[in-house]
Amino acid sequence: MTGRVLLAGATGLVGSALLRQLLADPAGPEVVAFGRRAPPIQSPRLRFQATDFATLEAQAPIAADAAYCALGTTIRSAGSPAAFAAVDLDAVVAFARHARRCGATHFMLVSALGADPASRVFYSRIKGEAEKAVAAAGFDAVHIAQPSFLLGDRTESRPGEWIGKHIAHLLRPLLLGPLRPYRAVPAVEVAAALIVAAASAARGVVRQRFGGIPA
């Protein structure tokens, strides 16, 4: 993509990696970042759009070729299951619909391994419902990344994930063959895969799992 792309979640783990990689390419697109906080990066090709995703439909559309969505939180950070769903489902769907109004034909979504709208696990069900809604939004291509545990330096403290990161390193040698998608994957790898996907000729809904190698 060489025109303009939209990005939601630019201050998160995968979103910040996406932003850095998109801006690192001198021939890359202009990036319009949607969110509550401006990314801590400055570039003549970066534009910040302060956003309340609950009222995004009221914003005027901005012409764009593609959109990246890296919105996500945890139930603990959000404070309740309902608040979690407001981010990982409602905000994701609102952004996808807005991106479609902006003319985007490709949508890249960061989801999670095990996402399933019929799952009995709340987290997986919400992720699955978000995937289903995005897939039905009318894009020519929807690329969905389904990583397992994400590795990288977060701006917010998540003690449980710090423990999980070390456990992931210990488990890596055991996750072989069909278990490879359950390996932890660096956020930068997920971001790079989505950028490649945006330029691909694939159409329809494409899901990508990872057999990540922790740094």
Those residues whose C-beta lies under 8 Å from the C-beta of residue 148, and which sit 6 or more positions away, are 112, 113, 181, 182, 183, 184, 185, 210, 212
3-state DSSP assignment of residue 65: coil
Annotated catalytic residue 165 = no
Alpha carbons 16 and 10: distance in angstroms, whole number: 5
Torsion of CA 192, 94, 27, 21, to 10 degrees: -30
- Which of the residues 123, 132, 165, 182 is marked catalytic? 123
Annotated catalytic residue 123 = yes
- Which of the residues 127, 132, 165, 182 is marked catalytic? 127
Alpha carbons 186 and 167: distance in angstroms, whole number: 15
Alpha carbons 207 and 120: distance in angstroms, whole number: 21
Active site residues: 123, 127
